[in-house]
Protein backbone atom coordinates (compact mmCIF):
# COMPACT_ATOMS: atom_id res chain seq x y z
CA UNK A 1 0.00 0.00 0.00
CA UNK A 2 1.53 3.34 -0.99
CA UNK A 3 2.40 5.94 1.61
CA UNK A 4 -0.08 8.79 2.15
CA UNK A 5 0.73 11.99 0.25
CA UNK A 6 0.22 14.00 3.43
CA UNK A 7 2.94 11.99 5.19
CA UNK A 8 5.32 12.35 2.23
CA UNK A 9 4.76 16.10 1.92
CA UNK A 10 5.27 16.59 5.67
CA UNK A 11 8.58 14.74 5.73
CA UNK A 12 9.84 16.59 2.65
CA UNK A 13 8.80 19.99 4.03
CA UNK A 14 10.37 19.47 7.46
CA UNK A 15 13.60 17.89 6.19
CA UNK A 16 17.00 19.56 6.21
CA UNK A 17 17.74 20.97 2.75
CA UNK A 18 21.17 19.30 2.40
CA UNK A 19 19.79 15.91 3.48
CA UNK A 20 16.93 16.16 0.97
CA UNK A 21 19.37 16.93 -1.85
CA UNK A 22 21.62 14.05 -0.77
CA UNK A 23 18.75 11.55 -0.80
CA UNK A 24 17.36 12.86 -4.08
CA UNK A 25 20.82 12.41 -5.62
CA UNK A 26 20.84 8.77 -4.52
CA UNK A 27 17.81 8.10 -6.76
CA UNK A 28 19.98 8.46 -9.86
CA UNK A 29 18.89 10.19 -13.05
CA UNK A 30 15.45 11.69 -12.69
CA UNK A 31 12.99 11.97 -15.57
CA UNK A 32 12.32 15.37 -17.15
CA UNK A 33 9.68 17.54 -15.55
CA UNK A 34 7.50 20.48 -16.47
CA UNK A 35 6.77 23.42 -14.20
CA UNK A 36 3.12 24.00 -13.42
CA UNK A 37 4.12 26.71 -10.94
CA UNK A 38 7.74 27.78 -10.62
CA UNK A 39 9.00 28.19 -7.04
CA UNK A 40 7.53 31.42 -5.74
CA UNK A 41 7.50 32.94 -2.30
CA UNK A 42 4.55 34.52 -0.57
CA UNK A 43 2.92 35.06 2.79
CA UNK A 44 0.26 32.96 4.47
CA UNK A 45 -1.66 33.73 7.64
CA UNK A 46 -0.78 31.42 10.51
CA UNK A 47 -3.61 30.66 12.91
CA UNK A 48 -3.33 29.50 16.49
CA UNK A 49 -5.78 28.35 19.12
CA UNK A 50 -5.77 29.55 22.70
CA UNK A 51 -5.64 26.49 24.94
CA UNK A 52 -7.85 27.90 27.68
CA UNK A 53 -10.65 29.27 25.47
CA UNK A 54 -10.20 27.05 22.37
CA UNK A 55 -10.79 30.17 20.24
CA UNK A 56 -8.73 30.48 17.03
CA UNK A 57 -6.91 33.72 16.30
CA UNK A 58 -4.55 35.00 13.61
CA UNK A 59 -1.00 34.62 14.89
CA UNK A 60 0.71 36.43 12.03
CA UNK A 61 2.04 36.07 8.51
CA UNK A 62 4.60 33.41 7.61
CA UNK A 63 6.87 33.35 4.54
CA UNK A 64 6.45 30.20 2.41
CA UNK A 65 7.72 28.95 -0.94
CA UNK A 66 5.43 26.91 -3.16
CA UNK A 67 6.02 24.93 -6.33
CA UNK A 68 4.09 22.52 -8.57
CA UNK A 69 5.54 20.23 -11.24
CA UNK A 70 4.41 17.51 -13.61
CA UNK A 71 6.62 14.42 -14.00
CA UNK A 72 5.56 11.58 -16.29
CA UNK A 73 1.95 12.78 -16.04
CA UNK A 74 2.04 12.88 -12.23
CA UNK A 75 1.58 16.18 -10.43
CA UNK A 76 3.62 17.09 -7.38
CA UNK A 77 3.21 20.02 -5.01
CA UNK A 78 5.32 21.46 -2.21
CA UNK A 79 4.83 24.22 0.34
CA UNK A 80 7.91 24.95 2.46
CA UNK A 81 8.40 27.51 5.23
CA UNK A 82 10.90 30.20 4.28
CA UNK A 83 12.51 31.37 1.06
CA UNK A 84 13.88 28.04 -0.23
CA UNK A 85 13.16 27.67 -3.97
CA UNK A 86 15.62 24.80 -4.63
CA UNK A 87 14.33 22.75 -1.70
CA UNK A 88 10.74 23.43 -2.76
CA UNK A 89 11.45 22.21 -6.30
CA UNK A 90 13.14 19.06 -4.98
CA UNK A 91 10.19 18.37 -2.66
CA UNK A 92 7.66 18.87 -5.48
CA UNK A 93 9.65 16.50 -7.73
CA UNK A 94 9.84 13.89 -4.97
CA UNK A 95 6.13 14.21 -4.27
CA UNK A 96 5.31 13.67 -7.94
CA UNK A 97 7.72 10.72 -8.24
CA UNK A 98 6.21 9.10 -5.14
CA UNK A 99 3.11 8.45 -7.23
CA UNK A 100 5.14 6.60 -9.90
CA UNK A 101 5.46 2.82 -9.77
CA UNK A 102 9.17 2.92 -10.71
CA UNK A 103 10.34 5.73 -8.40
CA UNK A 104 7.70 5.29 -5.68
CA UNK A 105 9.55 2.67 -3.58
CA UNK A 106 12.74 4.78 -3.63
CA UNK A 107 10.84 7.88 -2.53
CA UNK A 108 9.17 5.92 0.29
CA UNK A 109 12.60 4.77 1.54
CA UNK A 110 13.77 8.37 1.32
CA UNK A 111 10.76 9.54 3.36
CA UNK A 112 11.49 6.91 6.02
CA UNK A 113 15.08 8.20 6.26
CA UNK A 114 13.83 11.78 6.57
CA UNK A 115 11.35 10.76 9.28
CA UNK A 116 14.17 9.06 11.20
CA UNK A 117 16.23 12.26 10.92
CA UNK A 118 13.28 14.29 12.21
CA UNK A 119 12.72 11.91 15.14
CA UNK A 120 16.42 12.05 16.02
CA UNK A 121 16.40 15.85 15.91
CA UNK A 122 13.27 15.97 18.06
CA UNK A 123 14.89 13.62 20.63
CA UNK A 124 18.00 15.82 20.77
CA UNK A 125 15.80 18.88 21.24
CA UNK A 126 13.97 17.13 24.11
CA UNK A 127 17.29 16.29 25.76
CA UNK A 128 18.38 19.93 25.55
CA UNK A 129 15.03 21.06 26.93
CA UNK A 130 15.24 18.64 29.85
CA UNK A 131 18.60 20.15 30.83
CA UNK A 132 16.86 23.46 31.50
CA UNK A 133 13.88 21.99 33.35
CA UNK A 134 13.24 23.41 36.80
CA UNK A 135 11.12 21.58 39.35
CA UNK A 136 9.47 23.46 42.20
CA UNK A 137 8.40 21.99 45.49
CA UNK A 138 6.67 23.33 48.58
CA UNK A 139 7.87 22.86 52.12
CA UNK A 140 5.25 22.34 54.80
CA UNK A 141 5.86 23.86 58.19
CA UNK A 142 5.41 21.53 61.13
CA UNK A 143 3.31 23.88 63.28
CA UNK A 144 0.13 23.07 61.30
CA UNK A 145 0.18 19.44 62.47
CA UNK A 146 -2.15 18.36 65.32
Which has the higher per-residue pLDDT, 15 or 136?
15
- Whole-prediction pTM value? 0.81
- 33-61 per-position pLDDT tens digit: 999 999 999 999 999 998 888 889 999 99
Q: Check residue 32 and give its pLDDT.
A: 95
Q: What is the mean pLDDT of the chain?
A: 91
Identify the CA nearest to 89 among candidates 110, 70, 106: 70
Q: Where are the beta strands (DSSP E) in 16-110?
A: 33-49, 56-71, 74-81
The sheet that has 33-49: what strands, in order across it?
33-49, 56-71, 74-81
Three-state SS at 102: coil
Amino acid sequence: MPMERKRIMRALALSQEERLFELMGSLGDLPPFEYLRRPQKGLIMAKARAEATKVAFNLGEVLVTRCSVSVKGRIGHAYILGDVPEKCLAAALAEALAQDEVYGPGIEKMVLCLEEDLARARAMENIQTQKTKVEFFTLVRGEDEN
